[in-house]
Each structure stands twice: as structure tokens, then as C-alpha cells.
Amino acid sequence: MNTPTLNTRRLILRKFNENDLEAFYDIFSDKEVNQFLPWFPLKNLDEAKSFYQKRYASIYQKEQGYAYAICLKKQYSHWLYQY
């Protein structure tokens, strides 16, 4: 199984999808957020899409793999953290 959706009382853990690209860009373009990460801050939405496809969509194609968007149930489209 690959990244099944999980629900708690307050959270939804789900796969990232292309609807998350704007949020991806907001987080991964921030120099302070990315200061200690092994990639450079993203410069535009095209880079965000490429990053999503390489780092996350490719994981979802495998038989097993985990890459979660952690979302508050009240704000399902806005993820809090990536793991």
C-alpha cells in the first residue's frame, strides 16, 4: 500500500496532489524555511510542479512509499507539514 489517507480527530494525512502546487511554492520558496534543507528555494510555480513530480508523484507510482501532506480537517486544502 502506498500513502493511504489517514484521519484523526483533527487531522487528515493524505497524498500531495497538483492542487497543492501553490502551497508548495509558498513553503519551498521561503529562504528561511529552506535554509537547512538540501535543495534551493523554488523560484516559480514551474519549479514547484517539477519538485512535486520528482519528489512526491514519483513516490506514489511505487508499490510502497510514504509522503504525506498533513492537513487540519477545518482547512483540508492547506497542509501543515510534509513528511
Model confidence pLDDT, tens digit, residues 42-65:
999 999 999 999 999 999 999 998
Other residues' Cβ atoms within 10 Å of the Cβ of residue 40: 11
Whether the predicted pLDDT of 81 surpasses 70: no
3-26 b/e with 16+ CB inside 10 Å = b?
A: beeeeeeebbbbbbeeebbebbbe
Q: How confident is the model at residue 80 (pLDDT cuts 50, 70, 90)?
A: low
Whether the predicted pLDDT of 9 surpasses 60: yes
